[in-house]
Each structure stands twice: as C-alpha cells, then as structure tokens.
Amino acid sequence: MADIAFLLLIFFLVTTTIASDKGLSILLPPKNDQQLDVKMKERNIFKVFINSNNQLLVEEQLMSVNQVKEAAKKFISNNGRDPKSSESPQAAVISLKTDRGTKYEMYIAVMDELKKAYNELRAAYMGITLAEYLEIENDSKKQNAKFEEAKKAIPYQLSEAEPTNVGGN
Amino acid sequence: MSKFSKKKKGTPAISTSSLPDIIFMLLFFFMVTTVLRETELKVQNRLPKASQLQKLEKKSLVSYIYIGKPKDTEKYGVEPRIQVNDALVTPKEIPNFVYAEKDKLDEVERDKITMSLKVDIDAKMGIISDVKQQLREADARKINYSSVKAVEKE
C-alpha cells in the first residue's frame, strides 16, 4: 500500500511546477488611429529613456538603475516647490521610452524601480510600510478605503512611447 | 522487592501501520496543488526579477505568451521568437490567438482577459513592443510581465 502511494507521490513531486503567477501589471492604451494632441506642461513629465546599450537617461541625466527611484520620488512629490519639477502627484506623468534593442531585463528593472517609487510614496501616504502596502494591494477581496484614497492622491501614471529603432533587430 | 524492580524495556518500535495514511495525505496534497504544464516550451524562458509584484487574480482569465530564444536553434534560428500554445508564431498571428482565447471565456468576462507575458531576460524590446502593438489591436489590454520575486537587497 505504502509502496504504491510512495510511487505516486514521487511522480507528482517530480511533475509539480509551482506556477509563478506574479508579475508587473500594466494596462495598454486603447487602440486609437487618430493621434490625440494632448497638451501637457513640460515640467509635469518625467522622461526616462533607455538606449540600446541599456544606458539610462533620466531627465537629460545619465543615471544608474538604483538612482531612478529616488529621482522619481522627488519628482512626484514635488508639489510645485521646484519650478522645473511636477506641480502635483496627480499631474505628474512618467514617460518611459525604450529602444528596439533595449534588453528586456533592463526594462523590467526600471519598471520595477518606478513602481517602487509610487508604492513607497503611497505607503508613506497611508502611514504603513512598503511590505504592508504590497499585502493590501494584492488582497483584492478586502476593500480598503485608505488604499483607494492613496491611489487617488498618487495615481500611477506611466506612459510608454513607441520605441526608437537604433539597435533594432 | 522484586515487585518494584523496573522491567527492562527497550523503546518500542514505532508503529508503521499509519505510514500509508501519512503518505496518502502528502500524495493528495501534491495532487491537488499540481498544475500539469499544458504546453511544452519551445523557447528559453528565464524570467526577470522584480520586487513590486502583483498577483494575477483569476487563473481562468489568464493566457500566456512566451518569448525567448528558440531551444532548437538549428531549426528556428537564434533570434527570439513568440510561442503561443504549442507553436511559434509571428506577431501578426497574435490577434487570432487572442480572439480564440476570448472565445473560450464567458461573454461577460471577455474584457477582463489578462495576457501574461513570459519573456526571457535576453529578449529585446523590439519584439515585445510588436507584441504589445498587436495586443492593443486585439483589445487585450491587460498585461502582466511575469517575473519572479527578487530578494530584497539593502
């Protein structure tokens, strides 16, 4: 009896792949043929560009990946203090542009840092730690008024431009 | 006096009669948690690491697209390719795949379809933006870049 059970057990142990069903979520813009001409103030746009050598240009400055978060946080939470930076978190938009030759790993690393900047600001707004914030975000069943409020106060606004084609395939 | 002298007793052997029960319990656990892989991967798939992960909510609403260097480089070359279900496709064929996936769902849930992009870390953004463009075309706008949890570095 135990032998058969063991055999089956080992079979399932070997075949099991614990599914990884986590990741970074984004929402693509709807299909739109006519170009919309959106007027935005230059100061409210935080430009991030990754070139085909995986180098990072943030607001015309060369940066490494681990500096992006602080720069983004500073930009979003500026609230009109610095005349070159954003007017308010609601107005702030991050524009991310890549090249066709940019490595995916780099792109995800930058996306992750930008998401982290937003998450840390929202966590600070709610007065909790980042880990607690992530738990609330992933718990879809529980309605959390504070979370909704933080989402409204600091909306995650990321715009992705069409990639350039320098290091294309 | 001998009445109180301790009897020599070795530790009794552990009864193995409940062993099958324990094994069966483990077996059922693994049987329930197992997800048999539906598709055989034809492309390399090392997922990137990220820390700010979001869970995918309903498994039935998720469709997977794999992108990476083909494993069989002699047949398919070394450039990253797109795999859906069991076949390698070109970006142009993606809308058809999305419509087929949407057909499997209930009508009320069709807009909620989520595409999980499982992209190899060595892939380039060019092919990914092609895929994204086609997904916009097919109106499957919810996207999740599948990634694994990174260990937090201080």
Q: Domain residues of chain A, as ranges?
A: 43-160
Does residue B85 sit within a domain? yes
Which pLDDT score is estimated for B150? 79
Instruction: Specify burial of residue B26 (Cβ count, 10 A radius: 0-12, 13-18, 19+).
Output: middle
Does residue B115 sit within a domain? yes
Contact in structure between A120 and A130 (CB atoms under 8 Å): yes
Please name the residues between 40 and 79 in chain B that touch chain A, using a CB distance below 8 Å. Answer: 47-57, 59, 62, 79
Please name the residues between 57 and 76 in chain A that touch chain B, using a CB distance below 8 Å. Answer: none
Chain B residues touching A21 at Cβ < 8 A: 55-56, 59, 62, 116, 146
> For chain B, what is the mean pLDDT?
83
Residue B53's CATH number: 3.30.420.270
**Are B141 and A2 a contacting pair at CB < 8 A?**
no
Nearest to B21 by CA among A128, A23, A24, A1: A1
Q: Is residue B37's pLDDT more than 60? A: yes
Q: Which tokens sit at B109?
A: 């849930």
Chain B residues touching A99 at Cβ < 8 A: 125
Q: What is the mean pLDDT of residues A70-99?
A: 86
Q: Is residue B153's pLDDT more than 60? A: no
> For chain A, what is the mean pLDDT?
83
Give the global pTM.
0.79
Query: Tens digits of per-residue pLDDT, B92-150?
Result: 899 999 999 888 888 888 888 888 898 998 888 888 888 988 888 888 888 999 888 87
**What residues make up the domain containing B127?**
49-149
Q: Is residue A102's pLDDT more than 50? A: yes
Give the end-to-end CA distance of chain B in Å, rounded to a whole number: 70
Q: Which tokens sit at A151?
A: 């989402």
Which pLDDT score is estimated for A163? 78
The confidence band for B5, taking pLDDT boundaries of 50, 70 and 90, is low
CA torsion through residues A135, A137, A141, A144, sign: positive
Q: What is the mean pLDDT of residues B43-56?
A: 86
User: What is the Cα–Cα distance from B34 to B55, expressed in whole angstroms?
Assistant: 18
The confidence band for A138, taking pLDDT boundaries of 50, 70 and 90, is confident
The letter for the amino acid at B11 is T
The confidence band for B75, taking pLDDT boundaries of 50, 70 and 90, is confident
User: What is the Cα–Cα distance from B54 to B147, expressed in whole angstroms?
Assistant: 10
Number of domains in chain B: 1
The confidence band for A141, taking pLDDT boundaries of 50, 70 and 90, is low
Does residue B75 sit within a domain? yes
- Among candidates A1, A112, A169 on the partner chain, residue whose Cβ is nearest the Cβ of B126: A169
Contact in structure between A94 and A46 (CB atoms under 8 Å): yes
Does residue B131 sit within a domain? yes
Which pLDDT score is estimated for B154? 45
Selected residue with higher pLDDT from B154 and B4: B4
Contact in structure between A61 and A127 (CB atoms under 8 Å): no
The confidence band for B3, taking pLDDT boundaries of 50, 70 and 90, is low
Does residue B26 sit within a domain? no
User: Pairing between strand B62-68 and A158-160?
Assistant: unpaired
Which pLDDT score is estimated for A17? 66
Which pLDDT score is estimated for A82? 82
The confidence band for A158, taking pLDDT boundaries of 50, 70 and 90, is confident
Which pLDDT score is estimated for A54? 87
Does residue B140 sit within a domain? yes
Does residue B154 sit within a domain? no
Q: What is the mean pLDDT of residues B4-8?
A: 65
Does residue B55 sit within a domain? yes
Query: Tens digits of per-residue pLDDT, A7-58?
Result: 888 887 787 766 667 888 888 888 776 666 777 788 888 889 998 888 889 8
Which pLDDT score is estimated for B6? 64
Q: For chain B, what percent of residues have pLDDT higher than 70? A: 89
Q: Is residue B85's pLDDT more than 50? A: yes
